[in-house]
Amino acid sequence: MRRHFPLLLVSLWLAAAWIGIGLLSAYDGAPGGVAGVPGHWPSKSKLPHPSGRPTLIMFVHPKCPCTRASIGELAVLMTHCQGRVTASVVFLRPKGSGEDWPHTGLWRSAEAIPGVTARADEGGNEAASFKVTTSGHVVLYDLHGKLLFSGGITSSRGHYGDNAGLSAIVDLLNHGAAAMPETPVFGCSLLDPKSECSAKDPLCKRRLRL
């Protein structure tokens, strides 16, 4: 029995490793919640209304490690569409939190993208106005305030590279049409001030750290 004990330990370790890889892959591919984004610019929003060009907004939980990839893809998008869109990244700032709460590395990364403005969303009011619940959710409205696109610009959590959301927005801004005007969103819940991803899920926390 003792001779087979090391082999048993190795087998158990390999089984646990495969289960962990499977769970991580499943989590990476699981989209966050997506509510019904309004088809026209919401009247309750205090964000600058579309004027002269389409307006893109990305809603972000500043402590969501998954959203780092979304910010990176936004930088790629802006290189293809500079001058064709007004873009903002709106960061959750929960009620009672300090002014610096949203100013994480994600904020600095967004601010560094040419043509992008970083803004704080006090109490998540703007996200509520647009009925957005997941970090990394992007909405695009035309210059008349009509919704053109709603969804994410990564293909899974924390994944960089070609994806349907980014391609759709580039096509809309450059050609006026897109094959897929709605895509899944991969990120943390904006409804949890502590970030469900970084604070609650060890798989995502281990995968990407701010």
Q: How many domains does the chain have?
A: 2
Query: 165 near 150, Cβ under 8 Å?
Result: no
Q: What is the per-residue pLDDT for 28?
A: 40
CA-to-CA distance for 198 and 209, rounded, in angstroms? Answer: 8
pLDDT by residue, tens only, the chain of 210 residues: 555 445 544 444 443 333 333 333 333 444 444 458 999 999 999 999 888 899 999 999 999 998 999 999 999 999 999 899 999 999 999 999 999 999 999 999 999 999 999 999 999 999 999 999 999 999 999 999 999 999 999 987 777 888 999 999 999 999 999 988 999 999 989 987 665 454 444 445 444 444
Domain carrying residue 26: 1-30
* Residues 87 and 22 both lie in one domain: no
* Residues 146 and 173 both lie in one domain: yes
* Residues 14 and 60 both lie in one domain: no
* Residues 120 and 159 both lie in one domain: yes
- Residue 131 belongs to a domain with what CATH number? 3.40.30.10
Least Cα distance to 200 among 21, 63, 29 occurs for 63
* Residues 82 and 135 both lie in one domain: yes
* Residues 96 and 15 both lie in one domain: no
* Residues 78 and 151 both lie in one domain: yes
